[in-house]
Structure formats: C-alpha cells, structure tokens
A and B are shown apart, each in its own frame.
Chain A
Amino acid sequence: DTGVSQDPRHKITKRGQNVTFRCDPISEHNRLYWYRQTLGQGPEFLTYFQNEAQLEKSRLLSDRFSAERPKGSFSTLEIQRTEQGDSAMYLCASSLAPGVGEQYFGPGTRLTVT
C-alpha cells in the first residue's frame, strides 16, 4: 500500500510565473484535499474533491488558483502569476468517503516565490 505522493517536493519560481503541483492519492481513496501551510502555522483548507468533482473551494483559493482531478485519480493544483505571498507548503491528503477515518497526507510541495 503506497501512501500519498506529491511532486515536486520543492519548487522555486520567479514572481509572475505559473506553477503546477501534482498529487497521487492512495488508490482506493475517493476524497482528495489540498491544504496550504505557511511558516509557523497549521495547514489551512483550500479545496477538496469527491472522485472527479470539486465540491468546495475556500476563500483562500483566489482566481489565480485552479485544481483538477481528472478521472478521479491524481490531482493537480496550478497557480498562475505567482506572488511572493504564495510561498508556502502545499499539502495533499486523501481519505475514504464519507471521511470517517483519518486523512492521509503526502510529503508536501514547498513553493518559494522569489
């Protein structure tokens, strides 16, 4: 049983560039969550999918952010026109619906915008 994987682990980009992150959940999990964690804080919810449907987006997810989960498998999170305030750890988690059990987290993608 492989865990949740994320790619890349680290990304350094210049302000204004677009970046895309990938998350591969545990294979039988149909719920997938994205969180953002800034330095010294706990993770904050961004969005989640039930299979391929994106069911909720946080107000933290501005128009520059978009997430997809084609075919209910892996998910991508894209940030367009990155800003320095986007620098954070982006965590992906998956769980079995209806979410009775715990969420299993990936190792995260650390984004640095210079």
Chain B
Amino acid sequence: AQKITQTQPGMFVQEKEAVTLDCTYDTSDPSYGLFWYKQPSSGEMIFLIYQGSYDQQNATEGRYSLNFQKARKSANLVISASQLGDSAMYFCAMRGTDSSYKLIFGSGTRLLVRP
C-alpha cells in the first residue's frame, strides 16, 4: 500500500529565512510521482512542485525546491526566502500507481512565518 508521512504538525520560520518541510513515502512501485500542495486558510489546494520517480534532477520552481532522496524515500520541500504569505498548510502527496492517478496525501504541516 502507498503511504505519505509528514511528521511535522507545525513549523515556525523567520521571514526571509529558508525552511524545510519533511515528507517520506512508501511504495513498492518503481514509477510514481510526488507533489507538494499549499492550502491557505481559504481552502484551495495550490500546486507547488512535482517530482517524478525517474527524474534525475531535483525539481525547482522559483523559491520552491524538492530535495528528492530516492533511497531514503524522502521528498522534502525547501522554501527559500520565506514570506509572510507562505503561512499555510502544506501537503505532500503521491500519485497513485493505478490508472486512476488519484492523489494520496499526508496529514500536512502548518507553516507560520514570523515577521
């Protein structure tokens, strides 16, 4: 069975500093995709970054980068130069390996950026 684990219920970071949000996953399938989504208090899930299991390089999107360590089955999100608007819930997700491509989410990490 596939599973996503996020062990940090809450994190604080000072504005303009970098922060790492942890995510570990479990799957027996060699082909999978990993996603990070941001959920502000408004409720909408906002896509941040994607990493495919066969991608050779770590994904980056602006201030977001994904530290993909395949052997450790970890896919940590790094946010550089934190901004007050980064305060939100962050979810790590894995795309299912069946034809549904449904997403399997972790329990999330609440990030609070301090001014």
Q: Determine the distance from Cα of A99 to Cα of B107 in the docked complex, in whole angstroms.
A: 23
Q: Determine the distance from Cα of A99 to Cα of B33 in the docked complex, in whole angstroms.
A: 11
Q: Determine the distance from Cα of A111 to Cα of B46 in the docked complex, in whole angstroms.
A: 21
**Does A65 make an interface contact (CB < 8 A)?**
no
**Does B43 make an interface contact (CB < 8 A)?**
yes
Q: Is the interface of A mostly helix, strand, loop or mixed?
A: strand
Tally A residues with Cβ within 8 Å of B: 26
Residue in A closest to B108 when the chains form the complex, CB atoms: A42
**Does A93 make an interface contact (CB < 8 A)?**
yes
Shortest CB-to-CB span from B99 to chain A, Å, is 7
Residue in A closest to B89 when the chains form the complex, CB atoms: A42
Partner of A105, one of B44, B95, B101, B104: B44
Residue in A closest to B44 when the chains form the complex, CB atoms: A107
A-B interface contact total, Cβ < 8 Å: 60
Tally B residues with Cβ within 8 Å of A: 24
Do A56 and B100 contact each other (CB < 8 Å), given the known contacts A105-B44, A108-B43?
A: yes
Chain B residues with CB under 8 Å of A28's CB are none
Do A106 and B44 contact each other (CB < 8 Å), given the known contacts A33-B102, A42-B91?
A: yes
In the complex, which residues 71-114 of chain A have their Cβ closer than 8 Å to any Cβ of chain B? Answer: 89, 91, 93, 95, 98-99, 102-108, 110
- List chain B positions with a Cβ less than 8 A from chain A: 4, 35, 37, 42-47, 50, 91, 93, 95-96, 99-108
